[in-house]
Structure 1
């Protein structure tokens, strides 16, 4: 499940087998299902049992592969997939490929899940575009709202940073970014210890995606 998106029929069969084992005191006889399966799968913190929803767990595993594609852009597997499917964009972008492999179709199926709370973390800002990439720390993350008229559609976030002081250039922010976005941008720390921009995941303390 960490490599392939299973067919829906397999998900249903697995859930049925687990439910039958749980509710029946004399398998394979069917017992009484005292609660809906979706409710039984709620976390223990909410008073339920916390069984895994197989389909969602499959997507979570595949999202880990997609996370690795964006975090390690120089790895061999990334270079192979980039050459085949997304030469001019990010693996998180909207990609239409002719005759994609089963592996790529499966990994790409987790794109919407990963986009829920992933955003680009700014270091030098050279690889992040102001208007297209999701880098503003909102829920979900989004691109910056420009001030009309837009004169630099391909502007990079690095253009809004004083690279010598490693601070946001407030005057440039006021010239090119909507006023509502400026406090959000200024709240983002700029690190000088990284040579390239990375991604972060909101739901963990270290901002790394985990299944």
Structure 2
């Protein structure tokens, strides 16, 4: 999930499993949801549980790889990436 963009269908399935775990949905009966999912995904400082969205987490992890690509000068994964995709190693250099 940290290297590739997650498909929307997979993200929805993961969030469905999270909802089922949190709200205790069972096969036999469904329970009433006292709190909206969006309010549970809010940060803890905003009166939420800080669960977060799977799509947002994936985008954050992808942004971290871009940041690392620009910051790290000598690393094996960057050399392999630059060689495979014919990208100059100094194309994204941040100070």
TM range (shorter): 0.7 to 0.9
CA RMSD of aligned residues (A): 2.5
The one-character-per-residue Cα deviations of 1:90-119 (angstroms, maximum 9, x if unpaired) are 34xxxxxxxxxxxxxxxxxxxxxxxxxxxx
Q: Following the alignment from structure 1 to structure 2, what is the Cα–Cα distance between the partners of residues 52 and 16?
A: 13
- TM-score, normalised relative to structure 2: 0.74
Partner of 2:88: 87
CA 1:18–1:88: 2 relative to 1, 3 Å: closer
- SS of 1:32 mapped into structure 2: coil
- SS of 2:78 mapped into structure 1: helix
Q: CA deviation at 1:38?
A: 2.1
- SS of 2:80 mapped into structure 1: helix
Report 1:136-151 matches (<5 A). none
Partner of 1:167: none
Higher normalized helix content (fraction of residues) = 2
Higher relative contact order (CA 8 A, sep 6+): 2
Greater C-alpha Rg: 1
CA 1:34–1:73: 2 relative to 1, 3 Å: same
Report 1:98-117 matches (<5 A). none
